[in-house]
A and B are shown apart, each in its own frame.
Chain A
Amino acid sequence: MSLKRLPYILPLLIFAGIGVYLWIGLGHDPRILPSALLNKPAPEFNLPPLQGRARLDGKSEELPLTTASLATGKPMLVNFFASWCGPCQVEHPILNDMAKAHDVIIQGVNYKDDPRRALIFLGQLGDTYDRVGRDQDGRVAIDFGVYGIPETFVVDGKGRIQYRHPGPLSPEIAQNTILPLLESLK
C-alpha cells in the first residue's frame, strides 16, 4: 500500500475501529460495575444477629455480624438478601449448594427486612449462612456500595473485598468465577 493512499484509507480504518469499539460496548451489561472497594478492607460495621434461626449445619450460636467476623483467615462470601426480594429466592439454592458441596462460608446480611419473614424465608429455602446480621436501615449496604439486592461479595482471609457480583448468582458464575476465586484465596 502506497503512503499516498493513506488519506483515503485512514477514515475507513478509523470508522472500522469505532465500529468494533461500539460493537464490544453493546455486549457489556451497564448494570455490572466493579466495586469501588476492590482490594480494600470491608467497611466497619456491627450488625445484630437474626435470632431464632434453624441452621442446616446444626449449630445454634447466633452471633453479631461485624467487620471482625469477615477477617478470620479464611475467604468467604457476604450475601445481601431479603425475604421480599424475588431474585434472592432464585439464587438461594446456589448459595446452599456452595455451602454444602464446597464448604463455602457465607455471611448473610438481611437487608431492610422483617425478622419474622426472614426466618420464614430461610426456613423454606434452607439456612446455610454462618452468621446473619440485620441491616435494618440499609446503612451497611450503602457502606458496601450495594445498590440493589441480591448482591454478593467475595472477601479474602484478611477481610478485604476481592469481588462483587450485583444481582442474583447463576450456577455458571458460582462454578466459573466464585468457587475458583475462593480456592485461589485459600
Chain B
Amino acid sequence: MRLIMLATLALLWIAPAAQAIAPSEMLSDPVLEGRARELGKELRCPKCQNQSLDDSEAGIASDLRRIVRERLVAGDSDAQVKDYLTARYGDFVLLEPPVKSTTWILWYGPFAVILLGAIVIWRIAKRNKARLAASGADPDDDDGDGWEITRR
C-alpha cells in the first residue's frame, strides 16, 4: 500500500505542469526548444496578462510562441528575442520588470523602507538609553529593546 502511494507521488512529481504548447509548435532541436521554454516562462501573454506565454491558450500567445522559436532558429540570443517583443509590446511582456531608472522604487523601495525603519529603531533605542542613564538607573540593565524607560 505504502509502495503504491509512493509510486503515485513519484508520478505526480515527474508529470509535467499543464502547458498550452501544442506538439506541432515545438522545435525538433531540444536545445533550442529548451531555450524557447525558458523564454516562454519569462514572457507574458499580452492578452491574458496573468499567464505566461507557455501557459496561455490565447491565439496571440501561440503566435508569439511561434515567433520566439522562429527568432531562436534564426540565431537570435535570448536577449534579442526579448528585445524583439518589447519593441512591439513594451516592458509589459516581461513577467519580471527590468531594473531601470523608472523601476528603481519598485526594486529598491522595500530595502529603503527597511533601512529607514532600522535607523528609526536605532535612534529611539539610543535616546531611551541616554534618558535611562540620566535618571540614574544602571544603563547596563538595559537589554537594548528600548522599552526600559516605561518601567520606572
Contact = CB atoms under 8 A, between A and B. Distances in A.
B90 A33 contact: yes
A148 interface: yes
Given A138-B63, A148-B60, A37 B49 contact: no
B63 A31 contact: no
A142 interface: yes
Scoring B46, B88, B90, B92 by chain A CB atoms within 10 A of each residue's CB, the highest score goes to B88
B86 interface: yes
A147 B90 contact: no
A36 interface: yes
* Chain A contact patch, size range: 10 to 19
A143 interface: yes
B72 to A, nearest CB: 16
Interface string A1-41: 00000000000000000000000000000110111110000
B92 A148 contact: no
A145 interface: yes
A147 B60 CA distance: 6
Given A138-B60, A142-B67, 6 more contacts: A33-B90, A37-B88, A112-B59, A138-B59, A139-B63, A143-B88
A30 to B, nearest CB: 7
A145 B89 contact: yes
A163 interface: no
A144 interface: yes
A147 B87 contact: no
Scoring A43, A112, A147 by chain B CB atoms within 10 A of each residue's CB, the highest score goes to A147
Interface string A108-149: 000010000000000000000000000000110011111110
Contacts of B90: 33-36, 145
Contact of B86 (A36, A43, A143, A146): A36
Contacts of A145: 46, 88-90
Nearest to A138: B63
Nearest to A146: B60
Interface in B89-117: 89-90, 92
B47 interface: yes
A1 B94 CA distance: 46
B49 A36 contact: no
Contacts of A36: 86-90, 92
Contact of B46 (A34, A37, A143, A147): A147
B123 to A, nearest CB: 10
B131 to A, nearest CB: 15
